[in-house]
Structure formats: C-alpha cells, structure tokens
Amino acid sequence: MEIKREALPQDMDFRSRQLMSRDMLRGTLEDEDLERFVEQAVMTTTLDKAVAWAQGNSIYPMTFGLACCAIEMMSIVAARVDIARFGFEAFRASPRQADLLILSGRVSTKMAPVIRRIYDQMLEPKFAISMGACCSSTGVFNNYALVPSDKFMPIDVHVPGCPPRPEALAHGILKLRDKIQHNEREGWRERYDAVGTEEVVAVAAGSDSGKAGGPISITDRHGVALTASTGEAAGA
Amino acid sequence: MTALGDYRKREESISYSVESAGMGETHELLSLNIGPHHPATHGVLRLIATLEGEVVRDIKPIIGYVHTGIEKTAEQKSYWKAIPVVERMDYLSYYFNAMAYCGAVETLLGLEVPPRAQYLRVIHLELNRIMSHLVWLGTSALDLGAMSMFWYCFRERETILDLFEMSSGQRMHTRYFQIGGVFEDIPLGFAEKLQKFVDAMPARADQYADLLEKNQILLSRLRDTCILDEQTLLGWNVTGPLLRAAGNPWDLRKAAPYSSYDHFEFKIPVGSVGDNYDRYRVRHAELYESTKIIDQALNGLPEGPTIADDRKVVLPPRHELATSMEALIHHFKLVTEGFRVPEGEAYYPIESPRGELGCFVRSDGSAKPARVHMRDPSFVNLQSTAPMVKDSYIADLIATLAMVDPVLGGVDR
C-alpha cells in the first residue's frame, strides 16, 4: 500500500487529524483493531488524557496531620524520599488550594465531621489517601473512639502500615497518579454522595446584592443553607 | 445532663462575634478560632483566642480531636500485649511510653532488669530524645519561617530511624522494650553506625545553631517573648524543658535516676530568663547532652543477657522450645494468657523529651491491667500556654505554641 505524505494544513484541528490517520491505516488494520490503534498508538493524547496527565503530575497535598503518620508524611518531603521528584511537594494549608487529602493518623469520632467538612471544601478534582492502619480500619486500637475513614468519605488509595514508611506513602501517591491518569474513578464519589459538595458562597438576589454587608448564605449543592444569613436581610 | 451534653453546650455557647470590651468604640474583643486543622498547631489542637486588635487576651485550648481510647484498650490486653498501644500515645517519644509502662509493670512484679538491657534502654531513650527534639526543631523553625532547618533536622532523624530499624525492624513504634529488658540484643554493625552518628551529631547541632542563632528575625521573635516565671510554671505542674528554661534544673534523670542514669555524666541545661529563646536553647543544648550519654552508654556497654531470666514473665529463648517441654509450656502460657501480676499499684515517672512522663498501673491480680493511666507532659504543659501568651501578640502565640511542643497524641491519648 502506498502512503502519500503531505504536510498537514496548519489550521487542521485535532479531530480531523485523527480521522486522517485512520484513513491512512485502512487496509492494514480493520475495524476494532484499527480503532484501538488509532486510539492508542497514533493519537493517544486526547484532551481528557492530557488533562489527566497534568492532574496526575501536579497533585497539591494538604498540610493536614492527625497523628503518628503525620510525621512520616512530613518525611516524604525531606531529602531521602523527596516527593518533589514527582511534583507533589507543594503542600497547601487551605483545602481550597489543595487537591489531595492525606489522612495521616487516627480519626476520632470528634474529628470525623471536621475531616468530612474539609474534604467537602476542597475543589474538584480532589482525591484522598488513607494513610496507615488506623484510618483505614482503626488498626491496633479497634475501640469506641475511632472511626475508619471509609465510613464517612470516599478514599482513593489506602496505604497500609503502622505507620507506613515514607516510601510506602510515596508508592501510594504514585498509585494515585496512575489512577488519575487512567481515569479509574470507580464510582466512589457517587456512592459517598461526595460529588459537587463544595460550599458555595451565594450572594442573594436583590437590590443590596454584592455590596459589603449584604446578605450572604452558604449552601451545599442541594441548596440547603449551611449557615444562616443575618436576620433582617433575609426579607430583602 | 451528661458530661458530653454539657461539653457540647459549652462549646456551642462560644460566641465568635465582635463584642465591645467597654473601652470605647475602637476597643473591641474578637474571638478567633484556630484549628483543629491548622498547620501551626502541631496536630489537631483547637484554640479559641480572644483578641484585642493583634493582642491575645485569652486562649482556650479545646482538645480531644485525636482521642483514641488507648488507656481503655490497654485494659483489654494482657500486660505484654498492651505495650504496642501504649507506645502510640505520644507518637514522638514511643520508647519513653514503653519505658514508663514497662517500668511500672516491672515495679509491680519486682523484676530486676539486667545491666546490659538497662544500658540498651538508655541508648534508645536518648536517641529517641534527640529524634523528638529534631522533629520539634524542624517544625518549629518552619513555623518561624526558617524553612531549611526542616531538611537538616530530618536528615539526622532518618539516621536515627535507621538505627531503630536496625535494632528492632521498625522505624516508629518499635516495641523494642519488653517487660524485663529489651526484645533482642543489638545486631552486628549497630555499634559502629551509632558511634559514627554520635561523633557527627555535635557538629550537626553546631550547624543548627549557626543557622538559627544568627538569624535576626528568629532572634527577635524568640527573645523576651512570652516569659513565664518558675513559680507560675510550678503552679501549673509544668515539667521538662519549659521548666528548665525558667531556671529550675528539675530533671528526673538526675532527681530520681532510673535505668542506670546515675552511671553517666551529663549536665542539665537551664535557662535564665524563661522566654521562648531559652526554651529553644535548653532543648538545643540537650542534643549535646543526650549525645554524650549515648557515647558513654555505648562504650561502657556491659556484657550479659538483655532480658531478665524469669520464665514466668519472659518468653523462653526460641531454641529451647524444640528441646524443653517446660519451655514450651511457659511459651504457650505466656502467649495465650500472659503472665499474672500481683495486686497493687505502681507509678513510674521518667523524663521524656517534654517533661515528666509517668505511667500508673493498677493490677487486680489477673493477666490484664485493671487500669493504665499516663501522666503525659504535653497535656499538663499545654495548660501553661494561656498564661504565657496573655497580652502578647498573636504572632508570638504561634512561636510559643511551637516552643511548648505539645504532641496531641499524648494530650488526648
């Protein structure tokens, strides 16, 4: 088969390049094989994949330590494991700026609602790693005080150990990167009702809207108010 | 009303709104919530600070966010199986937790610990003290903006954890201390590696001092801030480096020596002013003293067994199980039921990196402890934060909290 090579027009879009490559291969490969080849080998980088690649390589974990594992979590930033090699070293103190919540330690019943709220405050795309035995299964304690993190929020990767070595956590983060890049979401979010739970500050419609001191309300995605707005402003 | 309901009610009654302090329009008090998720609280501590402008008038610590029920869990395990859970209380000084607990049980049993085991315990305790101070120094310096300290401190910490891993197989929560001694003798090559570390450590500590003590920002943030005098600290039952920074040389290693601490020569660093700078200096000086103790213990390490020879309490050596029926029976009894401890109570205080760590164990004659309670220095020392930071700037609150060095795992247990 003769393949004619021509320079592609500059303004040719991505889709038409894919179609052209498919035409070029017709005859050599058929139907499904052709589809797969085009998908994988010729033009792998669809936009989604490019985004997933970028997301997976620039995870911003949150500065959030609970107990013993937090010390080992700190050491992944230090010289020996140095997670900066993979681009995950930028720890962010605010949940709004972070996209990975590493639950490092034991989750008590008093802390669990706080953690869920922090997770809800993080913006999509967001991921969670449960580090260590305690927050995966309550570990050696297994008593009244602790709650496994799977009970109240979706966890993407569990890292076993008590506490896990820094290398183990680094491995867990790399697993998470693979997961993000291959889009293996597995429906976790839906099961935990954890999609679109970001708290949104909505300015109420009305003549005073937008001005300082105007009525604001914080709602979740169902429109249920999380904090009440000021009394007299509600009528406006 | 139950205690929990009462607590909730009090918690909900806290007002975060601006309130007038009756000093005119510009003077109003603001309640600021810090934590439980805040990078500068060193764990999940929650503080409610009452501010007047930038000045802290009062703080209320709210604890319990890592309450793990360890004391209760320890009651459900036989004596030797409670060691791992007890170790996880103050997660930066696991050897100390194990030491206090084992010491209390050994007191109840009247068990004599062989000298080699005592020396090995001292080596590991002091390594742990250095490790704990390094984590404190790295994270505190991070809070004060000295970022590079973190990497230097964690470099040495990794060396120490390698040694822990060599002797016990784990980096943290090693469970190296057994009731009656230590789990195993140190392996080949441990002594050489430790000697190398001991030789290098003073120079490293000098390096830290060079980095920090010539830094004008750090000095102005630490010097003469949040001074608290010795009497007030004693009134709050504060022990450890905080008390020593105020000039009181109280250290249980000298005051009531345990585990052969009286065999070693070392000094107790004390401060003179009692400000944050002294708190830093005292801990920094302890790095040198601990290194000295390790050096002496390593070079004077006596020969002999590493665990007591009481077959009713200590597991028989592995090789005897194949030849001795009696050893097999003892092994079976110890692993299934555990050993029984005579009725009584014991309180065993030791000097942890944060102060007096005491373990109270009450026995009812069975194979499980009737009560295990820890007097954790973090919990007691945390109370002194409020008088320390009263009428100082909120930036000093962060520095003081770093210098108090509370470990919330120990506070909440």
Domain B70-309+340-412 is found in CATH 1.10.645.10: yes
What confidence tier does A2 reach under pLDDT thresholds 50, 70, 90?
Answer: low
- Over residues B352-369, mean pLDDT: 92
What mean pLDDT is predicted for residues B256-267? 90
What is the least distance, in Å, from the CA of B38 to any CA of chain A?
A: 7
Distance between CA atoms of residues A96 and B70, nearest Å: 34
| C-alpha dihedral sign at B298, B301, B305, B307 | negative
CA B49-B55-B58 angle, to 5 degrees, is 35
* Amino acid B19: pLDDT: 58
Average pLDDT of the segment spanning B179-193: 91
Residues in chain B closer than 8 A to A108 (CB atoms): 64-68, 412
Cis-peptide, bond into residue A125, ω within 30° of zero? yes
Taking 60 as the threshold, does the pLDDT of residue B224 lie above it? Answer: yes
Partnered with residue B20 across adjacent β-strands are: B28
Decide if A79 touches B, using CB distance below 8 A.
Answer: yes
ipTM: 0.84
* B318 vs A: CB within 8 A: no
The pLDDT value given to residue A201? 55
Backbone angles phi, psi at B191, to 5 degrees: -60, -40
Strand partners, B307: B181
Beta strand segments in chain A, E: 100-104, 127-131, 157-159, 200-203, 216-219, 225-227
Q: What is the pLDDT of residues B363-375, one digit of tens each?
A: 998 999 999 999 9
Q: Considering only the beta carbons, identify the residue of A63, A72, A95 that sits closest to B172.
A: A72
Rounded-to-integer distance, Cα B243 and Cα B278, Å: 10
Scan residues 378-397 of B and list those with Cβ closer than 8 Å to A: none
CA distance B257 to B67: 31
The C-alpha atoms of residue B238 and residue B127 are separated, in whole angstroms, by 23
Q: Give the CA-trace dihedral at B159, B115, B251, B43, to 10 degrees.
A: 40
Find the mean pLDDT for residues B268-293: 92
Contact flag B135-A66 (C-beta cutoff 8 Å):
no
Asked if B412 and A163 come within 8 Å (Cβ–Cβ), the reply is no
Whether the per-residue pLDDT at B291 is higher than 90: the answer is yes
Segments making up each domain of chain B, as ranges: 70-309+340-412
Res A92: pLDDT = 85
Touching check for A165 and chain B: CB below 8 Å? yes
CATH classification of A56-191, choosing from 3.40.50.12280, 1.10.3720.10, 2.60.120.860, 3.40.630.10? 3.40.50.12280
User: Could you tell me if B294 and B261 are in contact, meaning their C-beta atoms sit under 8 angstroms apart?
Assistant: no
| Residues paired with residue B365 on neighbouring β-strands, in sequence order | none
For residues B132 and B383, give the distance between their C-alpha atoms in angstroms, rounded to a whole number: 21
**Which among A67, A75, A111 has CB closest to B91?**
A67
- Highest-confidence range of A178-187, A202-211, A213-222, B401-410, by mean pLDDT? B401-410
B180 touches chain A (CB under 8 A): no
pLDDT tens profile B15-70: 666 555 555 555 678 888 887 888 777 778 888 888 888 888 888 888 888 899 89
Average pLDDT, chain B: 88
What band does A124 get if pLDDT is binned at 50, 70 and 90? confident
% chain B with pLDDT above 70: 94
What confidence score (pLDDT) does residue B31 get? 86
Q: Residues near A155 by Cβ (< 8 Å), separated by ≥ 6?
A: A103, A128, A129, A130, A136, A149, A188
Q: What is the mean pLDDT of chain A?
A: 75
Q: Which of B5-19, B175-189, B208-222, B252-266 has the lowest mean pLDDT?
A: B5-19
Tens digit of each residue's pLDDT (9 = 90 or more) over B64-118 = 888 998 999 999 999 989 999 999 988 899 999 999 999 999 999 999 999 999 9
Nearest-by-CA chain B residue for A78: B151
